[in-house]
Structure 1
């Protein structure tokens, strides 16, 4: 698969080791990455940044945020229906219903990099040449 040097991803995870791993992985795939441990930091850094091609978020975040509310906040800040994936170990029907209502993809942990890449590539529009 080709890399996407013009692609931009937002990653939110309150576990720093996971956040760092996601950032490195996306970077090797050619994405520029805005990675943060909390939603407020993402919202502070978004002004002036390009509209993300994809949002990746853990489901359970700090300060009362969930992956669903984080995706909603980033989309509102960007003024765009940015494709999003929530990574979670939660299999509850409430989460699945909320994700469906927000048009968010749910991937259950552990997620293999090849599977994550496949889902991202399916959500992100092809590069226009």
Structure 2
């Protein structure tokens, strides 16, 4: 369980089953979870929620948007926001050339809840 029950996680994932599984898992671990299934929802949450600790985002999203395209402006708006990328195509994240892509953890799908938990603990502690 998270040591700080106020930790808020935004999950950006267009696959409904993965979004549900991640949300259920993180809620069970004590995190407050916000969900977005597209870039527009993610940007709305980023613009309106005063407190976010972590964003977990898929790389390939609908309409040709990438998780990097969400993470870069999100970090300009919220420099303390932590980011984890998830993808079935992890090499594409590094190939994007984004500075955030070089620093943020990348989990290749499929990944275990344990590996996700370890990455979150490293970033939020």
- Matches of 1:100 and 1:65 in 2, distance apart? 14
> 1:74 maps to which residue?
74
> 2:41 maps to which residue?
41
RMSD of equivalent CA atoms: 2.0
User: Mean alpha-carbon deviation: is it higher for 21-30 or for 79-88?
Assistant: 79-88
> 2:12 maps to which residue?
12
> 2:87 maps to which residue?
88
SS, match of residue 20 in structure 2: helix
Q: Please tell me whether the aligned partners of residues 11 and 33 of structure 2 are also in contact (alpha carbons under 8 angstroms).
A: yes
Q: Displacement, 1:25?
A: 0.8
SS, match of residue 63 in structure 1: helix
SS, match of residue 60 in structure 1: coil
- Matches of 1:106 and 1:39 in 2, distance apart? 19
Q: Please tell me whether the aligned partners of residues 14 and 61 of structure 1 are also in contact (alpha carbons under 8 angstroms).
A: yes
> 2:118 maps to which residue?
118
Q: Displacement, 1:54?
A: 0.9
**Using a 3 Å threshold, how does the CA distance of structure 1 residues 4 and 24 change in structure 2: closer, same or farther?**
farther
Gaps of 5+ in 1: none
**TM-score normalised per structure 2:** 0.85
SS, match of residue 46 in structure 1: helix
The count of aligned residue pairs is: 123
User: Mean alpha-carbon deviation: is it higher for 9-18 or for 80-89?
Assistant: 80-89
Q: Displacement, 1:48?
A: 4.1
> 1:65 maps to which residue?
65
Gaps of 5+ in 2: none
